[in-house]
Structure 1
Amino acid sequence: MPEFWSALGNTIWWAFTVLVMISYLMVLFSIIGDVFRDHTLSGGAKALWIFCLVFFTFITAIVYILVRGKGMTERAVAQASQNKKAADDYIRSVAGSPADEIARAKSLLDAGTISADEFASLKAKALS
């Protein structure tokens, strides 16, 4: 029976260690992304932060979050907003308007590709 508890304890400790390591890697990559996203930070300061992250890992991560955490959030929100705006603009550009769809259907009707009934259904669909 003691072997079971020892194995269970080792398994729980391993799972906890893996969880902490994955969490730290997520924080580390978030910090690195933020360092390179910040345009107000000079190149030397970026190099210093990266150097410290490599050699003084946990302390630097904690200090970075405490010192630059609010700006980190603001930059992430601004980036997400910019990405959403770009995606919305792209969707609007490729979606087309109902007038465009009706014009395409009319050109198909004029070319004889579709019948008048099909044109009417496409027109109704575009206007709905």
Structure 2
Amino acid sequence: MGTYLAYDYPLLGAFWTMLWLFLWILWFILLFRIIVDIFRDDDMGGWGKAGWLAFVILLPFLGVLVYVIARGKSMGGREIKHARAQQKAFDDYVRETASGGGGGRSHADELARLSELRTRGDITEEEFRRAKALVLGDDAPSGSASTTAADTGATPRG
């Protein structure tokens, strides 16, 4: 019986079966990506999501085709936005964990933020020096003529 099976199912038939199986699996992957994209889209309201979901589930082949035509271009943008948000969350987690996990910012983070503020022109050079001295824990910020005893924590002599 085994030898007759090889003759009844030629190589071209096996090729077509594998092709249809591949396309079927590809369609399922696309269907699930579309369902995830429907729920991920913050711009679409609840009724829009419900409508697209019903369309994609009740008329699967037509629904997937129409969704890809109508909203396929923005699917990539939402995917990139989601990937960037995940990467930022991961980077923030690594940064927080590496700095001791105390919930506070490290000196390097504070100095980088101060440098960015100075570069944008939000703070002056003098304000940058005072803030840098506070971050680094110096007792008296250098170069500040307007620093009072209350600013440095020293007691006035009298």
**TM-score category, normalised to shorter length:** 0.5 to 0.7
Residue of structure 1 equivalent to 2:43: 40
Match of 2:119 in 1: none
Within 1, Cα distance between the matches of 2:99 and 2:43?
A: 39
Distance 2:10 2:58 in 1: 34
Q: Does 1:61 align with 2:85?
A: no
Matched, 1:11 2:9: no
Aligned partner letter, 1:66: I
Q: How many residues align?
A: 98
Match of 1:81 among 79, 84, 96: 84
Match of 2:53 among 50, 54, 62: 50
- Counting only pairs closer than 5 Å after superposition, residues 70-109 of structure 1 correspond to structure 2 as 70-96=73-99
CA–CA distance in structure 2, aligned partners of residues 40 and 70 of structure 1? 15
Deviations 1:84-113 (A, max 9, x none): 00111111111237xx9xxxxxxxxxxxxx
Counterpart amino acid of 2:78?
R
Equivalent in the alignment of 1:24: 27
Cα separation, 2, equivalents of 1:79 and 1:6: 46
Deviations 1:10-30 (A, max 9, x none): 321221121011110111111
What are the ranges of 5 or more consecutive residues in structure 1 without an aligned counterpart? 101-128
- The one-letter amino acid paired with 1:75 is R
- TM-superposed CA distance for 1:6, in Å, is 3.0
Q: What amino acid is the match of 1:40?
A: D
| Unaligned stretches of 5+ residues in structure 2 | 101-105, 107-158
Instruction: Measure, in 1, the Cα distance between the counterparts of 2:13 and 2:53.
Output: 34
Shift of 1:65: 1.1
Bigger radius of gyration, 1 or 2? 2
Determine the C-alpha separation between the residues in 1 that align with 2:24 and 2:66: 18
Quick one: which amino acid aligns to residue 37 of structure 1?
R
- Supply the RMSD in Å over aligned alpha carbons: 2.3
- Structure 1-normalised TM-score? 0.67
Give the counterpart letter for 2:75 in structure 1: M
Q: CA deviation at 1:5?
A: 7.5
Q: Distance in 2 between matches of 1:79 and 1:20?
A: 27
